[in-house]
Structure 1
Amino acid sequence: MSTPAARSTAVGVSGFAERLAAAVRPEFQVEVLVPTIGDPILGTPACVVAGCVRSTSYDRLCQPHYRRWTIQGRPGLADWACSADPMVAGRRPLKICAVVGCGYGQHRYHLCYRHSRQWDSADRPDLASWTPPVAAAAAVCGVTGCGLWSELDAGWCRSHHVRWRQRGRPSTTEFIAYCADYGEDRFDLRSLPPRLRVEIQYALQCRVDGERARTPPRAIQPLVNHLAESGEVSLLDQSLACWQEGLPAKVISTGRAFLSYAIDCLLDLRDGTGWDAEYPQDVWLLRRLAIPGAGHGARLDFTPIQPTWLRGLVKRWCRWRLSCGIGLRQVRKDHISLLRLSRLTPGLSDSNSPAALTRPALEAYLAALAVEVPHTKTRHGDIGAVTGFLRGVRQHRWASLPVDADLYPDDHPKLEQSSASRAIPEFVMNQLETPENLDRIADPRIRLLIDILIGAGLRIGDATRLNIDCLIPDAAGATYLRYRNHKMRREAIVPIDDRLAAAIAEQQQRTLTKHPDSTVLITRTHANPHGRHPIGPGTFDLRLRQWLADIAVIDELGRPVRVTPHQFRHTYATRLINNDVSQEVVRRLLDHTSHTMTARYARLADTTIRAQWERARKIDIHGQPVDTSGDGLLGDAEWMNHNLARAKMTLPNGYCGLPLQKSCPHANACLTCPVFITTPEFLPQHHAQRTQTLQLITAAEARGQQRMAQTNRTVLANLDTIITALESAPKDPKHAC
């Protein structure tokens, strides 16, 4: 199997040491690198003691203050930090000699070295009245911030001279930098060989540029010390596995991860990035291709795909799919599907040309796939990927396939149509939307994301990546949420209520207060100094599960409930459908391309309308109630029959209950038909028809047409019965249609 460490180094190896040295910026070209206090990647937060200029070591305290706090019995940290002396060793200003006019530092007796000896020789008189001679003013100590006169021959005051000798008499610049950052964590790279030192410097620079993982000195220095003792001159002298095996226990997980990261960065610089360098490899490192959504270690391994000609076609097809904007998740699925094709097709791995990919071979593949992948949906996806692959090879003329090498619609297994709703039951939603439960979400970012999922129906990936300027008002004062539909790769907007708009506005203020230049609405907390990175969907999913466990959400049977972020989108659409919002409007709100996706929610609306129909009071021409609330399959059949009747035999004052298979013997005289059904919503039409019928009876009697008058009297009697029965119906909301 091809690994990054085993790759050919023919590309870009010449002059690698020079290119590496040139890639390191000046601020990282130092032997001792001291990060800024509070740096989100390389540094640590400042000590909580007010006025302390050192970074934390333990329990949010620097090492000197932690020692003082421990000696005093560890009182309440918040109160103690407010009253503690912020000055620590190495940061206190050095005291000047007590003799007036002397600028040397104190040595003993509050006097400098020279005046302390003179005071001893004078039998230690009263200092207040003692007036010894003062030497001429000398040069000031070279350490920044020290105003004492320099002594001896190095240009430092006596105290700094002692410290300078203890450090091994370093150069002036190095010692001044050491004193400026005395007591702080630092990356000390002086013990490393020159080549290895530059490699660590470059890795630290890449860490800062990536703004991802924290890399404090205390976690990396044990690794640096081990590398100095290993005797190697470069990280590329050994494979990562060999390095990891030899690491001592004191190198913690952060140091081990940094070692792997450093080797990857060096290989990227040596081998190059982009398709020209990566496409020929059998293992694609996706970070080198700048694939959206790919982590640092993400890769596509084509090595198991056999034979070689098929591997080349699969690589070409995957590159084409990625360049067309197909998401990495889908390309990974296609890659697995084609791996199964190479493994399950008889004789394919031993073939020398695409001529072996015949229709009989594909039929054998379909049979083997049905055994290995029993899940219908997964098998359907595999066959679809292979079909698209074969079509792409022919379309772009990448290879000459046999004429019969193809898959057809009949080769796809029939997907089971599930009528189960993925929406969250209202019993559970009532618990989730309770103000007391929502208030238990401590992080306002997570609270806002839940509100967006419930109130706008966004996918969690789209919600976490909202821009800071996502609110759009219209001329009428309504507010809309603008977002990027990453699945469809287009912009979309959705109307939201005032409460959700206010919550988003509050988050905008929080983000801009912390990161004034941020373009992201909901930023992640760690390793994000400039607010460029949004919170991850995985973080939200973890917090959601923690919240559900905290509030103990249960279903109707008292069982714990698991809720996924995408279920909120189904719930949003289901509520719209059940509130008589048209399917076209729901499609636009969800930003679906076709009605096929939205139709899944439309079936739920049919259930709602059926419930309303069953609750309505229905009577026949004799004023007797009609029962249409059958159970099970019969009830479904009756409901379908009713829908067909409404669609094809709707009357101006009711519906026809005659089955479609039978013919009507009553022509248009429906009010004398025994299968006629009506409801209170048609009372206005009944009153109007009664008036017309009275006029017809009067006219018929005037003309002597007794038979016509008698027929209309039957209609009039039925109308009177229907109107009386409908108007006497109880005024209960549950009987209203």
Structure 2
Amino acid sequence: MEELRQYLDFLRVQRNLSPATLDAYERDLTHFLDFVWEQLELLDRPQKLQEVDKYLVREYLAYLAREGYARSSVARRLASIRGFSRFLFSKGYAQRDFALPVGTPKQPKTVPEILTMDEIRGFLAASMPGRTEALRARNKAIFEVLYATGIRLSELVGLNVDDLDTNHQYLRVLGKGRKERIVPLGEYALASLHTYCQRYRGQLLRGKDSPALFLNSAGERISPRGVQYVLGQCCEALAMHKHITPHTFRHTFATHLLDNGADLRSIQELLGHSSLSTTQVYTKVTRSHLKSVYNRAHPRA
């Protein structure tokens, strides 16, 4: 569809969105438009963008709910539709901003899963999985960096060797919206990175030329799925009962900083959040942790 292609081009040029984010927008909006065209056909109405209205958007959201989509997924789809709707109206492709009157579904208040200090120490001290010593060293460095910096999985796999400055002890990270930020590294992460880069990264390269910091066994940039697979192996080996994802390290990083006196503004900068309200979710984690400690320790809790 030409209008959709124009919108995706707009997002790529004006919003500087990553290819993965653009693919997600395209999937969401293609699914929505397929639903809308089917509904318009059933209603014996022309399959045109001018026919799309708030009632069709609400019917689509109701359909997603019936299909068992999580509220967060429904809200994300609506956000995609709203942006598309605004674009169509501004360009004259639609007679109205059809998604504007549609309210966002209320989201359940959830507290992110985190690892305790004992759990994260045990995880990082454990023997890493991997067929070779080089892969085990790489895996050690990956999880030390995730916990030391709180960076996203997409940011981790996008790191290049040139993004690592061992002299000043920081990483240069390219975050959402292609925004660059500087993240400090602790001594444990630096030590694991030094071992990996100096002794083992060259073995994984297999004579290839790649700028990627973290490589797979074929000498190519490791994928998000590759990191998730290794994490699954670690959790299985350690018999961890929590649902641990790469993002759990991000939540754990922020919560442990807050527990140890870091201010929210600093944590916001380190995480690359554009809004402080996004960072404030970690205050709920800390309150939850304090309540559990109180319940365990207070004689009349």
Report if TM-score (shorter chain) is over 0.5: yes
Matched residue pairs, number?
289
Matches within 5 A, 1:75-474: 311-324=1-14, 325-326=16-17, 327=21, 328-344=23-39, 347=42, 350-351=45-46, 353-362=48-57, 364-365=59-60, 368=63, 370-372=65-67, 375-397=70-92, 399=93, 401-403=94-96, 406-408=98-100, 411-418=103-110, 420-426=111-117, 428-433=119-124, 435=125, 437-438=126-127, 442=133, 443-472=136-165
What SS does the aligned partner of 1:469 have? helix
What SS does the aligned partner of 2:160 have? coil
| RMSD value, Cα | 3.5
Q: CA deviation at 1:426?
A: 4.5
Tell me, in whole angstroms, the C-alpha distance in 1 between the residues paired with 2:77 and 2:122: 40
User: What is the TM-score when the length of structure 2 is the normalising length?
Assistant: 0.79
What SS does the aligned partner of 1:567 have? helix
Q: CA deviation at 1:318?
A: 3.4
Q: CA deviation at 1:322?
A: 4.1
Seq. identity, %: 21
Q: CA deviation at 1:372?
A: 4.4
Letter in 2 for 1:458: I
Q: CA deviation at 1:579?
A: 0.8
Q: Does 1:491 align with 2:177?
A: no
Q: Please tell me whether the aligned partners of residues 170 and 183 of structure 2 are also in contact (alpha carbons under 8 angstroms).
A: yes
Tell me, in whole angstroms, the C-alpha distance in 2 between the residues paired with 1:347 and 1:364: 13
Letter in 2 for 1:491: E
Select the residue among 262, 277, 288 that pairs with 1:581: 262
Q: Which residue of 2 aligns with 1:176?
A: none
Q: Which residue of 2 aligns with 1:537?
A: 224
Q: Which residue of 1 aligns with 2:238?
A: 551
Tell me, in whole angstroms, the C-alpha distance in 1 between the residues paired with 2:292 and 2:265: 22
Q: Which residue of 1 aligns with 2:283?
A: 602
Tell me, in whole angstroms, the C-alpha distance in 1 between the residues paired with 2:260 and 2:35: 46
What SS does the aligned partner of 2:162 have? coil
Structure 1 residues 353 and 449: alpha-carbon distance in aligned structure 2, compared to 1, 3 A threshold? closer
Structure 1 residues 440 and 416: alpha-carbon distance in aligned structure 2, compared to 1, 3 A threshold? closer
Structure 1 residues 505 and 340: alpha-carbon distance in aligned structure 2, compared to 1, 3 A threshold? same
Structure 1: which 5+ runs fail to align?
1-310, 554-559, 616-626, 632-737
Q: CA deviation at 1:447?
A: 1.4
Q: Which residue of 1 aligns with 2:189?
A: 500
Tell me, in whole angstroms, the C-alpha distance in 2 between the residues paired with 1:450 and 1:413: 35
Tell me, in whole angstroms, the C-alpha distance in 2 between the residues paired with 1:483 and 1:429: 23
Q: Please tell me whether the aligned partners of residues 318 and 335 of structure 1 are also in contact (alpha carbons under 8 angstroms).
A: no
Q: Please tell me whether the aligned partners of residues 479 and 501 of structure 1 are also in contact (alpha carbons under 8 angstroms).
A: yes
Tell me, in whole angstroms, the C-alpha distance in 2 between the residues paired with 1:331 and 1:470: 30
Tell me, in whole angstroms, the C-alpha distance in 1 between the residues paired with 2:50 and 2:101: 23
Q: Please tell me whether the aligned partners of residues 322 and 331 of structure 1 are also in contact (alpha carbons under 8 angstroms).
A: no
Structure 1 residues 571 and 366: alpha-carbon distance in aligned structure 2, compared to 1, 3 A threshold? closer
Tell me, in whole angstroms, the C-alpha distance in 1 between the residues paired with 2:197 and 2:101: 50
Matches within 5 A, 1:683-694: none
Letter in 2 for 1:484: L
Tell me, in whole angstroms, the C-alpha distance in 1 between the residues paired with 2:60 and 2:214: 47
User: RCO (CA 8 Å, sep 6+): is it higher in 1 or 2?
Assistant: 2
What SS does the aligned partner of 2:177 have? coil
Q: Please tell me whether the aligned partners of residues 464 and 535 of structure 1 are also in contact (alpha carbons under 8 angstroms).
A: yes
Structure 1 residues 342 and 318: alpha-carbon distance in aligned structure 2, compared to 1, 3 A threshold? farther
Per-residue deviation, residues 638-657 of structure 1 (Å, max 9, x unmatched): xxxxxxxxxxxxxxxxxxxx
Tell me, in whole angstroms, the C-alpha distance in 1 between the residues paired with 2:270 and 2:13: 29
Tell me, in whole angstroms, the C-alpha distance in 2 between the residues paired with 1:425 and 1:567: 11
Tell me, in whole angstroms, the C-alpha distance in 1 between the residues paired with 2:269 and 2:107: 26
Structure 1 residues 432 and 369: alpha-carbon distance in aligned structure 2, compared to 1, 3 A threshold? closer
Letter in 1 for 2:74: R
Tell me, in whole angstroms, the C-alpha distance in 2 between the residues paired with 1:587 and 1:522: 26
Q: CA deviation at 1:585?
A: 0.9
Q: Please tell me whether the aligned partners of residues 345 and 364 of structure 1 are also in contact (alpha carbons under 8 angstroms).
A: no
- More helix, by proportion: 2
Q: CA deviation at 1:496?
A: 1.5
Structure 1 residues 353 and 334: alpha-carbon distance in aligned structure 2, compared to 1, 3 A threshold? closer
Structure 2: which 5+ runs fail to align?
none
Q: CA deviation at 1:583?
A: 0.6
Q: Please tell me whether the aligned partners of residues 137 and 195 of structure 2 are also in contact (alpha carbons under 8 angstroms).
A: no
Letter in 1 for 2:27: R
What SS does the aligned partner of 1:416 have? coil
User: What is the TM-score when the length of structure 1 is the normalising length?
Assistant: 0.35
Q: Please tell me whether the aligned partners of residues 573 and 601 of structure 1 are also in contact (alpha carbons under 8 angstroms).
A: yes
**Larger-Rg structure:** 1
Tell me, in whole angstroms, the C-alpha distance in 2 between the residues paired with 1:483 and 1:449: 14
What SS does the aligned partner of 1:522 have? coil
